Amino acid sequence: MQLPIYFFGDNHFSPTPSLSNEQKIRKLEQFIDVIENSGGSIFIMGDFFDYYFEYNTNNPNYFEDVFSLITNIRAKGIEVYFIAGNHDFWIGKEFQSVVTKSFLTDQILSVGGKKIYVTHGDGILSWDKSYRILKFIIRSNIFRFLYSLLPKGFALNVAKRISYERKDSHIINHKKLERIHSELIQFSRSKWNEGCDIVIMGHYHHSFNFNEGQKQLIILDDCCDQQFNYAKYDGDSISVESL
């Protein structure tokens, strides 16, 4: 993996046109303009799409503009890596052909002087038991097969409805936020004890940094239509930036 590495995620590109979606695409274009001369790699940390399900045949091309931008990034010599989130786990050969490499599970990067644990961040919290059960079901091959039998328009409407109903799930009060951070710090300590130096994740739609000695936990905020949040790792240290 080439340095520097740029981490971002939670763009939630929509399969249907909207002003917000167009503004998110413009933000991604601005980000490419910023990094195009640096070379290196980008690591997309999940929920790049608000909904993505790839069929084996007759796959709807909802994201032609986004795919084109990824192709342009790679044409500039920048490697593109992707780890699946809870909204876009069902990638297939079409998406895999666009990126340098994709992953369905958490990854450990040993690049430069640090070892970095990369995760989308979902399913970590101890009280999220029902979600972990749901996650196991919807990521199974049998669910994917059965879902693929639904008419594509109907499946898209179901996904849009679920996504809409979860919009408020990222609004968190101060007490719950402290509880989330406490659990994520404990999770990070388990990875630090295994030899990792940095744990980086998204999913929670807010920014949070925690240092313990030389160890770091970084939660990256999302990439919305107003702000593009990312981290840059140069092989020695990691910084959080936005545009």
Determine the pLDDT at residue 169: 56
- What CA–CA distances, in Å, run from 143 to 53, 129, 134, 149? 12, 19, 11, 10
pTM: 0.93
What is the CB neighbour count within 10 angstroms for residue 100? 18
Tens of pLDDT, residue by residue over 35-79, are 988 889 999 999 999 999 999 888 888 999 999 999 999 998 999
Tens of pLDDT, residue by residue over 186-242, are 999 999 999 999 999 999 999 999 999 999 999 999 999 999 999 999 999 999 999
Determine the pLDDT at residue 174: 81
For domain 5-242, give its CATH number from 3.60.21.10, 1.20.1330.10, 3.30.70.3450, 3.30.360.10. 3.60.21.10
For the chain, the structural domain boundaries read 5-242
* Helical H segments across the chain, by residue range: 19-35, 64-75, 93-98, 129-138, 141-148, 152-165, 174-193
Tell me the DSSP string of 117-130.
EE---TT-STT-HH
Determine the pLDDT at residue 101: 97
Average pLDDT, the chain: 92
- Of 81-90, 116-125, 132-141, the range with the lowest mean pLDDT is 132-141
